[in-house]
Amino acid sequence: MLFYGPPGTGKTSTILALAKQLYGPELYKSRVLELNASDERGISIVREKIKDFARMQLSNAPVSTSYREKYPCPPYKIIILDEADSMTQDAQSALRRTMETYSRITRFCLICNYVTRIIDPLASRCSKFRFKSLEKGNAGKRIEEIAEAEGVQMEDGVVEKLIECSEGDLRKAITFLQSAARLIGAELRPVSAGGKKGKRGKVIEDDDDEDAMEVDGIKETKVSVRNIEEIAGVVPVDIVDGLLQAMQPRKSGSTYGAVAKVVTDMVADGWSASQVLTQVCV
């Protein structure tokens, strides 16, 4: 199989879930070989590690009858090559013969972002599955499930903003939500130069006076749309509107001076040029 599509759409998660459902926890490690981009995947790895695992004969697994009723345990192994488009052409060429020779006892799953970087002889030996960007409804439901499980409260519009900023990448959306939740916690954590805790976790400051001052603990808050925009690097609407206004044609004089001033201010503030162009075009 050949899984391809944009990042964060569930390609790796799909094949890992499939493998775990086929073999279960006891046979997974012996029947599945996963290699990702952090591993060396030159021609030597294909000739040695991948080939040795592919031609290794299967033995009868010592599992109970109830285990086989729950997990199918098919008579073949699975080799997962994540980010296969980063493999060299020589390594891909060496892999195609191995795929044919040991197809009876070993199946391959190639995962990549760009199918054009997979050589044609290798792609033609695979069943292709294209993963498109996730729909807003399904991605929103998953984000809400994660937020509920983690106890993160969100304001109205946060889920829509997460989907908009991540552009269909669910992994990026989850990362933005996690960063926003931690940012809120860091901002609201009370800082005390000294003192000791009293009842209910309140901090009592040390003072020479008899009357001690109590500081309330962390207040409950919600992740806002503004928090997501700050983490995602979204340029504020008023800055983009100011740039568009400066670009409007004028009756007298050139628009260069006005545009140059706005651009200089944006560079000084550190806004991303690609993000500005994206928002201007949208």
Per domain, the residue ranges of the chain are 2-130, 133-233, 235-282
Domain 2-130 sits in CATH 3.40.50.2020: no
Q: What pLDDT, on a 0 to 100 scale, did the predictor assign at position 210?
A: 42
Sign of CA dihedral 133, 123, 27, 30: negative
The mean pLDDT value of the chain amounts to 83
Scanning the structure block, which residue is given the tokens 């599992």?
63
Q: What pLDDT, on a 0 to 100 scale, did the predictor assign at position 48?
A: 86
pLDDT higher than 50, residue 262: yes
Q: Single out the residue of 24, 19, 17, 28 nearest to residue 66, CA to CA.
A: 24
Q: What pLDDT, on a 0 to 100 scale, did the predictor assign at position 57?
A: 86
**Lowest-pLDDT choice from 73-77, 141-145, 187-191, 257-261:** 187-191
Average pLDDT over residues 128-134: 92
Beta carbons within 10 angstroms of residue 180's beta carbon: 25
Q: What pLDDT, on a 0 to 100 scale, did the predictor assign at position 252?
A: 66
pLDDT higher than 90, residue 192: no
pLDDT higher than 70, residue 263: yes
Confidence of residue 254 (pLDDT cuts 50, 70, 90): confident
pLDDT higher than 70, residue 196: no
Q: Single out the residue of 164, 162, 150, 131 nearest to residue 8, CA to CA.
A: 131
Rounded-to-integer distance, Cα 232 and Cα 277, Å: 15
**Lowest-pLDDT choice from 28-37, 43-52, 101-110, 191-200:** 191-200
**Lowest-pLDDT choice from 66-70, 214-218, 232-236:** 214-218
Q: What pLDDT, on a 0 to 100 scale, did the predictor assign at position 257?
A: 84
Rounded-to-integer distance, Cα 24 and Cα 6, Å: 29
Average pLDDT over residues 81-86: 90
| CATH architecture type of domain 133-233 | Orthogonal Bundle (1.10)
Instruction: Note the pLDDT tens digit of each residue in 20-43.
Output: 999 999 899 999 999 886 677 778
Confidence of residue 119 (pLDDT cuts 50, 70, 90): very high
Residue 198 contacts residue 265 (beta carbons within 8 Å) = no
Sign of CA dihedral 135, 140, 141, 145: positive
Rounded-to-integer distance, Cα 20 and Cα 248, Å: 58
Q: Considering the entire predicted model, what is its pTM?
A: 0.74
Average pLDDT over residues 47-58: 88
pLDDT higher than 70, residue 132: yes
Q: Which backbone phi and psi does 210 adopt, to 5 degrees?
A: -70, -35
Percent of the chain with pLDDT over 70: 85
Residue 40 contacts residue 168 (beta carbons within 8 Å) = no
Rounded-to-integer distance, Cα 20 and Cα 3, Å: 17
Confidence of residue 149 (pLDDT cuts 50, 70, 90): very high
Rounded-to-integer distance, Cα 19 and Cα 77, Å: 9
Confidence of residue 207 (pLDDT cuts 50, 70, 90): very low
